């Protein structure tokens, strides 16, 4: 084995976002592209003598990229890499391994909920020693390095056998191939009342978990079917596939339609759930009732002490700014802090590390706690199962009871995908121009209280994040939020969030889109969405 120093031109445009660098797979497979980004990571965070975790969601190019990273880690002087068997690790499991072994960080191969395949999406991100995504100063430094880097280091060697669990020497570096599921499953047993959940299944409780041919399949089978005794076949689409079986591994009512149809069908099980490509998102469905992510976060917060790992109570809760205020009402009732942060899981990291919050969540189907520093789809499903096992009520009964106690925040997100980026930017620029003049304006039965852009000052380190989304607040508590999202790889995704609070006990079972219709109409009128994008109907409604 020998170390090769390969000359390469700088590669511009490799700016990582909140979820790392995402591009089409052929771009990552192009000459020196992956290598440039990996070398930039090692140049910024340092590799000599360090230990890293490595794994991904199994999408196309996952296995080859892992071998490149191992060669480059060895060539850059890393002491040890802990890699999931077959280069597989869910994102929350990778976060747990980083924390469990006290490593110097980890490299996670995933494009999260985006499709996979030879012509689809690929991604790579670096997680810090706390197990969470790299903060902006680190990602900016990595981006800067990609634009100046002119050579990378790589070990000339055969592939590491990642099929067999065990320790192997790779140059001067040690590679530990580990069971990707075992340590994560053990953590879940510490947090949740497995005997109570097991008894619930033994008594005839039925559920369906759609792994969407993505990474959570092996985790869900081991935990739900083997350790908790759910019936064989409870986990569907359980084998991770490079192209996710042609599915779009995004757990929402549109892309998990088969699960939704089954949960609203004549022989629906008691409980349904799905997770995404890398296992950090979740969708929860009861028999005949869909649980919105914002409501799910609020219900978990209100019932967290039913789970052994949270019996001592919550230190606080946090939500992303676009997420509904449902959890705020729970926090107020519990007398604990509630923090509002920009979109991006890394913003929860400081709050979690400082012990200010225990639970946190995003409206984009992400929920988690201080057990790791990533959102965790299967964790959320197990928390729901724990609550169901203890309360011995249906999902519908739990939601109805929750709304009776706290009122209901009708809430929805409308996604306009692959919008022309220039037109989307022009729309947001025009909207910014009228924000100062909106206060006091009347739109049918709505009166605007205030309008502006969300800015966040981190209460732990004092860092400031500007322009995190346009917010229009109404006097009755309704609100509109607009953001352009960077989680896709083509064009821009315009996300419109609408919310309206209802306390009247006779108006808690309305169709959400009907309840929100005046707010939706106001949003389209103020932002002139059709004028700028040519669209009046969103691609996805959640």
At which residue do the structure tokens 């096992």 appear? Answer: 389
Query: Which strands, in side-by-side order, build the sheet including 446-453?
Result: 442-443, 446-453, 470-474, 479-485, 492-502, 408-419, 540-541
**Phi–psi pair at 21, nearest 5 degrees:** -90, 125
* DSSP conformation letters of 255-284: TTHHHHHHHTSTT--SEEEEE-TTS--EEE
Distance in angstroms (rounded) separating the CA atoms of residues 481 and 51: 41
At which residue do the structure tokens 């999931």 appear? Answer: 84
Q: Are 208 and 262 in contact (CB under 8 A)?
A: yes
353 to 222, 369, 461, 495: CA distances (angstroms) = 30, 11, 11, 29
Q: CA 534 from chain center: how many Å?
A: 29
* DSSP conformation letters of 76-140: TT-SEEEEEEEEE--HHHHHHHHHHHT-S-EEEE--TTS--STTSEEEEEEE-TTSSBPPHHHHH
User: How many Cβ atoms sit within 10 Å of the Cβ of residue 306?
Assistant: 19
Exposed e or buried b per residue across 97-125, where buried means at least 16 C-beta atoms within 10 angstroms of its C-beta: bbbbbebbbbbbbbbbbbbbbeebbbbbb
What the block records as the tokens of 122 is 């690929």
Residues 6+ apart with CB under 8 A from 369: 310, 358, 359, 360, 376, 379
Distance in angstroms (rounded) separating the CA atoms of residues 212 and 259: 10
- CA torsion angle 289 369 140 4 (round to 10): -100
Crossing angle for the helix pair 517-527 and 421-434, to the nearest 10 degrees = 100
At which residue do the structure tokens 């609408």 appear? Answer: 498
Distance in angstroms (rounded) separating the CA atoms of residues 32 and 534: 39
Give the active site residues.
112
Distance in angstroms (rounded) separating the CA atoms of residues 306 and 12: 50
Residue 457, SS3 per DSSP: strand
């Amino acid at each position: 084995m020998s170390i090769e120093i390969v000359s390469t031109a700088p590669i511009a445009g490799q700016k990582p976002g909140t979820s790392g660098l995402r591009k089409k797979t052929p771009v990552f497979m192009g000459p020196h592209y992956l290598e440039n980004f990996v070398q930039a990571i090692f140049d910024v965070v340092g590799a000599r003598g360090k230990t890293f975790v490595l794994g991904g969601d199994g999408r196309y190019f996952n296995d080859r990229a892992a071998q490149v990273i191992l060669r480059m880690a060895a060539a850059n002087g890393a002491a040890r890499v802990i890699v999931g068997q077959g280069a597989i690790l869910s994102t929350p499991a990778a976060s747990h391994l980083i924390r469990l072994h006290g490593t110097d960080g980890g490299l996670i191969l995933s494009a999260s909920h985006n499709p996979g395949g030879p012509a689809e999406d690929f991604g790579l991100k670096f997680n810090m020693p706390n197990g969470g995504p790299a903060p902006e100063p680190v990602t900016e430094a990595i981006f800067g390095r990609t634009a100046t880097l002119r050579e990378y280091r790589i070990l000339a060697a055969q592939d590491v056998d990642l099929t067999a669990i065990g320790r192997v020497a790779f140059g001067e570096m040690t590679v530990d191939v580990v069971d990707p599921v075992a340590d994560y499953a053990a953590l879940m047993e510490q947090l949740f009342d497995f005997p109570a959940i097991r008894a619930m299944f033994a008594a005839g409780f039925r559920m369906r978990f759609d792994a969407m041919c993505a990474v959570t399949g092996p985790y869900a089978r081991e935990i739900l079917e083997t350790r908790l005794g759910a019936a064989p076949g409870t986990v569907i689409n359980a084998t991770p596939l490079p192209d996710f079986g042609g599915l779009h591994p995004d757990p929402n009512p549109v892309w998990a339609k088969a699960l939704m149809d089954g949960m609203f069908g004549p022989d629906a099980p008691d409980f349904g759930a799905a997770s995404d490509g890398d296992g950090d998102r979740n969708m929860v469905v009861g028999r005949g009732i869909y649980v919105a992510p914002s409501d799910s976060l609020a219900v978990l917060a209100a019932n967290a002490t039913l789970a052994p790992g949270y019996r001592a109570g919550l230190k606080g809760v946090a939500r992303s700014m676009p997420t509904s205020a449902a959890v705020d009402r729970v926090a107020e009732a519990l007398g604990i802090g509630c923090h509002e942060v920009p979109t991006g899981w890394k913003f929860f990291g400081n709050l979690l590390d400082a012990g200010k919050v225990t639970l946190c969540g995003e409206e984009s189907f992400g929920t988690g706690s201080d057990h790791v520093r990533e959102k965790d789809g299967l964790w959320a499903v197990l928390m729901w199962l724990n609550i169901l096992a203890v309360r011995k009520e249906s999902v519908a009964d739990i939601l109805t009871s929750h709304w009776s106690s706290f009122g209901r925040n009708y809430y929805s997100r409308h996604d306009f995908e692959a919008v022309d980026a220039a037109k989307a930017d022009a729309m947001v620029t025009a909207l910014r121009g009228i924000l100062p003049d909106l206060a006091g304006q009347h739109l049918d039965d709505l009166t605007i209280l205030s309008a502006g852009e969300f800015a966040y000052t981190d209460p732990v380190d004092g860092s400031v994040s500007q322009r995190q989304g346009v917010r229009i607040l109404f006097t009755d508590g309704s609100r509109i939020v607009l953001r352009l999202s960077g989680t896709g790889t083509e064009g821009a995704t315009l996300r419109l969030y609408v919310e309206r609070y209802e306390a009247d006990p006779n108006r808690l079972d309305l169709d959400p889109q009907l309840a929100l219709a005046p707010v939706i109409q106001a949003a389209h009128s103020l932002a002139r969405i059709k004028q700028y994008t040519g669209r009046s109907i969103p691609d996805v409604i959640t």
